[in-house]
Amino acid sequence: MLVGEIGVRRLPTVVAPLPGEALTSWLLAVMELSGIEGSEAARLFGLGGGRFMHATTDVWLRRLTEPQLAGLSQSTGLPAEWISGLTFERLYSNIPLSALQDGSRNAWRYGYVSRDQIRICPSCVGARQGRWSLVWHLPWVLVCPIHSLYLRDACDCGKIFRPPRRTMEVGTCPITGSARARTEKGCGRPLSTLPAVYVENPHLIRAQERLLSVVRSQLDATDMMSMTADDVYAVLLMTLARGSLASVSGVSPAAQKSFEDFTATNEAVGWYDLSTRVPGLPRDALLLEAAVLMSEPVLTADDPLEAASAILPVSMRIDGTHALSDWVHTNWQVQALRQVSNPLRPLAELCLEYAIQGSTYINRQMRRYSGWRSPARTARERRSSASTD
């Protein structure tokens, strides 16, 4: 069956999407209500062939094609404009569909906004009957905008949250797992019963609200030199990886404790000892707090030099008490490179490159005028002086 063709039938029962809901969450709610199996979902929704799997739904979440929008609108009776509002269509409208599909198959190479892992708010999950918000797919969102709770990225049993792929998992800790994929089975616990951790730092809440408003305004702007949230996240991670996390003011003690436990107990790439973490905090809580707190001055900078000056205070603190370990340093550098490689806004990436280079240049100039010399430079000068003598 062709996508969006006249033969697509109207589903007998359709539940309305919730405000701010993600497309995949709404589709699963319709599937659960109508008893639709994952193998038949794409065809019945008018989205084409294929199973209801992450490699497919991840592309849908970013952008639907016009035929897919027409098919889904015909099968559900909802206007296409409403359906587009459940996706990141405004962020990915200029990216070819082939690039999105390739990015979904090669997630390690690309840094799109939506991602395989997801954070959830226990209070929202309970109030929304297991359905989740689109904003939870943004990698830099740490706090629930409604309840001021830290978003959870894992169950107390250690199961990492990912967008559900079948209706039986909605609102519960997934009991599925794969030894081959190195994913543990969950406990099946209702996610609404997870302990809630309130944000104790009001500056973080205000900074995230400001960041959301800035990003929304930039989505409506035509200035392609403006930086997106992903861009800022990448710059800050690369900067923090070089510097001291303790130099960022306003980071909460709970996030500090979470990060210390994380760096002290990692055993291998991709594996963490979750038992020592502060309950309810994501693995990268401290990095995210620092990134969000510093995002506003970078986002609102008028030029790359001003953006470089905004991240300079952290980049100069290289000998901090909470410097990243070698493994964490490498891991976050890779994560940052994924975000920078995002083809979302090419000109913004150029602006970021100038910002990074600018901060390095300013740092060198300040050291130069303050009389600071690196050991390597001192040795070279001594060798040069000895050779001339």
Q: Please give the pLDDT value at position 228.
A: 43
Provide the pLDDT confidence category of residue 378 given band limits of 50, 70 and 90: low
If DSSP codes are grouped into helix, strand and coil, which group holds residue 116?
coil
Tokens 């967008």: give the residue.
Answer: 163
What pTM was estimated for this model as a whole?
0.61
* pLDDT grade for 4, boundaries at 50, 70 and 90: very low
Q: Name the band, by pLDDT with cuts 50, 70 and 90, for residue 214.
A: low
- Of 232, 18, 221, 33, the residue nearest 135 (C-alpha): 18
d(CA 335, CA 270): 12
Nearest Cα residue to 171 out of 137, 120, 135: 120
CB atoms within 10 A of CB 113: 20
Spatial CB neighbours of 117, under 8 Å, sequence gap ≥ 6 = 153, 160, 161, 162
**HSE (side-chain half, CA atoms, 13 Å) at 101:** 6
**Which tens digit of pLDDT belongs to each residue from 215-255?**
555 455 433 333 444 444 444 444 444 444 444 555 566 65
User: What's the mean pLDDT in 137-149?
Assistant: 78
Q: Is the pLDDT of residue 283 over 80?
A: no
Q: Residue 17 above 90 pLDDT?
A: yes
- Which two structure tokens, joined as six digits, stand for 149? 């709770």
In the chain, pLDDT over 70 holds for what percent of residues? 37
Q: What is the mean pLDDT of residues 267-283?
A: 44
Q: Which residues pair with 172 in a beta bridge?
A: 190
In the structure, what pLDDT confidence band is assigned to residue 372 with cuts at 50, 70 and 90?
very low
Which amino acid, 4?
G
Most confident of the following: 5-19, 104-118, 245-259, 356-370? 5-19
For residues 134 and 322, the model is more confident at 134
**10 Å Cβ neighbour count for 178?**
9
- Which one has a higher pLDDT value, 266 or 20? 20
User: Which run of H or E residues covers position 225?
Assistant: none
Tokens of 114: 């939506």
Of residues 319 and 230, more confidence is placed in 230
- Which pLDDT tens digit goes with each residue over 346-369? 334 433 444 444 444 444 444 443
Secondary structure (DSSP) of 125-152? HHHTTT--BGGGG-TT--B-TTT-BBPB
Angle, to 10 degrees, between the axis of helix 285-299 and the axis of helix 202-219? 50
Task: Report phi then psi at 143, rounded to 5.
Answer: -120, 140
Higher pLDDT, 272 or 102: 102
